Amino acid sequence: MPAAVSIGSYPEMGEVQSNEALDAADAAYDNGRGTWPTMSVADRIMCMQRFVAAMLERRAEVVNLLMWEIGKSAADSRKEFDRTVEYIRATIEALKDMDNAHSRFAVVEGTIGQVRRTPLGVVLCMGPYNYPLNETFCTLIPALLMGNTVVLKPPQYGTLLFEPLLEAFCDCFPPGVVNTIYAPSEIVVPRMLASGKINVLALIGSSRVADHLKKQHPKSHRLRAILGLDAKNAAIVMPDADLDLTVQECVAGALSFNGQRCTALKMLIVHRTIVDDFLQRLTHAVERLKIGMPWEDGVQITPLPGPHRTRFMSEALEDAYNKGARICNDGGGDFYGTLFRPAIVYPMREGMKLYREEQFGPLVPVMAFDDIEEALNYIVTSDHGQQVSVFGSDPVQIGALVDPLVYQVCRVNVNTQCQRGPDVFPFAGRKDSAEGTLSVSDALRAFSIRSMVATRASEPNKALLNAIVSGRHSAFINTDFIF
């Protein structure tokens, strides 16, 4: 086995430093009177534009660290960086639209009002290791743009890539607005919540951890939670599905980035009349995937983040095998170090670990159904409720399938794998899969609350408001338009 390569280090912090980070964020917010929350939206946007420019200058370093730290292919690491920059730009445009729409008074039933979105306070941002940059910034950037201050706790894998951006955070935002903490989550995070100083928990992680953390806050009703959690998205393949297309979408859906996507297809439910044909084609496609190191051209399967993950995959396979399933593809489940060959496992049955547990890795469980109610029942009885894919061509059947499914999950993909993007679409989940909705514009709402100024529409009050606006006496009461 080749020796591990050291790619960098980060300071090991603990409770003292997490207290300092939290206090700095709290002081910078200063009950909404800090420089950042009181800055005009136009000025905050200018800071963010400077940040994007500085971030772009460090693209190569961030991409390289992303690739080395989490084993994401070079191509996908570049994609993650670029998609994140696009997300920031789109969020800025959405904020301009939102602010401009509120840059006016409304007169209703003799009352004049101006409504604007205002920040919530201190946001704790915790992203996942599979999209450490993108998913962290999908909460951090809208949180900042809305005027909140932030404590950023990077994931265990996916920490070093933030280093090239620290200088930009420092240069582009006032002191205390962005604070990073590198420490084991279980030591510092419950403690930060228990302090009562966190107003928003933005976590992409497991529902078990989210439940535990929310309970730590002394006044849980004061804590807003924006959560992206567990998922086990299924694909339902009808007998009349175009199998070439279905297999192509299922392979991408189940195995992009080794299946380490919250949106990955984690259970394939195939009509029994076509399951053999489907398995044969799927096996063929999976055997053609290029396995290797993330910097190799065209590589599709890369190392997992640690031996604990290959162990989990092997145990899940052994459990399925012991309960009657087989591995359909040659060498499926073999591994060297943390490089794990994907395995197609069939037939899946209730009681197997892989039937319900989220594998978050290169295992493709397949089960057959005779009656569509069996497939629906799998989704209805699941604890997860993020997305589903349905493959087929009969409009009557697909239409009838979509209707019950939209009440179980938040996105039904027709003849298409599950995925988060495009980022302007709502990304949400039912049951244990999420709390809150993220999208370019929804995230701005998630990290803010509407506040308003109101007055009876009398002549003296109208004159007063006009004087405030024309004299620019308030940051909140204004009719400025941001271009």
Q: How far is the CB of 138 from ligand G3H (least distance, A)?
A: 8
**Inter-residue contact 91 to 440 (CB < 8 Å):** yes
Q: Which is nearer to ligand G3H, 21 or 363 (CB)?
A: 363
Q: How far is the CB of 231 from ligand G3H (least distance, A)?
A: 8
User: Quick one: which of 26, 80, 135, 435 contacts ligand G3H (CB under 6 A)?
Assistant: 135
Q: How far is the CB of 261 from ligand G3H (least distance, A)?
A: 4
Residue 420 as a binder of ligand G3H (CB under 6 A): the answer is yes
Phi, psi of 49 (to 5 degrees): -65, -40
Residue 55 as a binder of ligand G3H (CB under 6 A): the answer is no
Residue 230 as a binder of ligand G3H (CB under 6 A): the answer is no
Supply 107's token pair: 């007169």
Q: Which is nearer to ligand G3H, 29 or 129 (CB)?
A: 129
Q: How far is the CB of 131 from ligand G3H (least distance, A)?
A: 5
Would you give the DSSP letter of residue 6? P
Q: How far is the CB of 420 from ligand G3H (least distance, A)?
A: 3
Q: Name the segment binding ligand G3H (CB under 6 A); options: 101-109, 166-174, 258-266, 450-458.
A: 258-266
User: Quick one: which of 310, 419, 439, 441 contacts ligand G3H (CB under 6 A)?
Assistant: 419
In angstroms, rounded to a whole number, what is the distance separating the alpha carbons of residues 113 and 116? 10
User: Quick one: which of 73, 263, 300, 413 contacts ligand G3H (CB under 6 A)?
Assistant: 263
Task: Kindly tell me the sign of the dihedral angle through the C-alpha atoms of 325, 327, 72, 11.
Answer: positive
User: Quick one: which of 114, 130, 386, 433 contacts ligand G3H (CB under 6 A)?
Assistant: 130
In angstroms, rounded to a whole number, what is the distance separating the alpha carbons of residues 171 and 369? 58
Q: Name the segment binding ligand G3H (CB under 6 A); options: 143-151, 193-201, 332-340, 414-422.
A: 414-422
Q: How far is the CB of 70 from ligand G3H (least distance, A)?
A: 12
Q: Which is nearer to ligand G3H, 38 or 416 (CB)?
A: 416
Could you tell me the CA-to-CA distances from 408 to 208, 227, 368, 411, 431 in Å, in that order? Answer: 21, 18, 21, 9, 9
In angstroms, rounded to a whole number, what is the distance separating the alpha carbons of residues 397 and 363? 29
**Inter-residue contact 256 to 233 (CB < 8 Å):** no
Residue 261 as a binder of ligand G3H (CB under 6 A): the answer is yes
Residue 131 as a binder of ligand G3H (CB under 6 A): the answer is yes
Helical segments of 351-408, H only = 353-356, 372-380, 395-405
Residue 262 as a binder of ligand G3H (CB under 6 A): the answer is yes
Q: 98, exposed or middle or buried, with CB in 10 Å at 0-12, 13-18, 19+? A: buried
Virtual CA dihedral for 71, 77, 83, 84, nearest 10 degrees?
Answer: 70
Q: Which is nearer to ligand G3H, 135 or 435 (CB)?
A: 135
In angstroms, rounded to a whole number, what is the distance separating the alpha carbons of residues 61 and 390? 40
Q: Which amino acid is at 182?
A: Y
- Tokens 């192509």 belong to 248
Instruction: Return residues touching ligand G3H (CB under 6 A).
Output: 130-131, 135, 261-263, 419-421
